Amino acid sequence: MRLMITSLFALAATPALAAGDKPFFSLANTDFVVSVAFLIFLGILAYFKVPGLVGGMLDKRAESIKAELDEAKALRDEAQALLASYERKQKEVQEQADRIVAAAKEEATNAATAAKDEIVKSITRRLAAAEEQIASAQAAAIKDVRDQAIMVAVAAAKDVMAKQMDAKAAGALIDDAIATVSEKLH
């Protein structure tokens, strides 16, 4: 009803009424004919309850939109929960990776320390072996020098004795040697 009254007032304010060349309530006035047709159209719409149907359709559409929004909100909440779960899992995996890296670094440090200790022990053993070889070579060289010195001394003594020795002195030396040997054997 309000719609009809509003429509009448809107039609009353038309420029055709202000012009005054034709009476408004005449079938010759197109504005009047259009206004009457419009009112009949509104009456038909009201008779068939089209505004209620349109309102019902709009209500249904609003309900379906609300349901879609509620579903979207539920999906959003679920997605946020899933995202939080994945972020927690990612954090846990990152922490585990950090622990693995720290353990690997510690293990590498321990292995490096053990390798250094083993190298020090190996070098110590090699130095000791080298010192033993040097001492052995030194002892062998000293023995060779002594042997050579003895051989040279014996040869020199032999030459000196051969030059100083005559037959009488040689016989006396042989007799002394026999006597010394016989004393030591008896």
| Res 69 pLDDT > 80 | yes
Mean pLDDT of 89-100: 95
Task: Read off the pLDDT band of 19 (50, 70, 90).
Answer: very low
Type of residue numbered 74: A
Q: Once rounded to an integer, what is the mean pLDDT over residues 137-154?
A: 86
State residue 151's pLDDT score. 83
Spell out the alpha helix ranges (H) of the chain. Answer: 2-12, 15-19, 30-47, 50-164, 167-185
The residue with greater pLDDT, 131 or 28, is: 131
The pLDDT of residue 4 is above 90: no
Poorest-pLDDT segment among 12-16, 92-96, 153-157? 12-16
CA distances from 24 to 14, 34, 40, 182 (A): 10, 11, 17, 184
For 106, the token pair is 């510690």
Residue that is written with structure tokens 């080298």 in the block: 130
Is residue 108 over pLDDT 60?
yes
CA-nearest of 153, 177, 175, 173 to 164 is 173
Averaged pLDDT score across all residues of the chain: 85
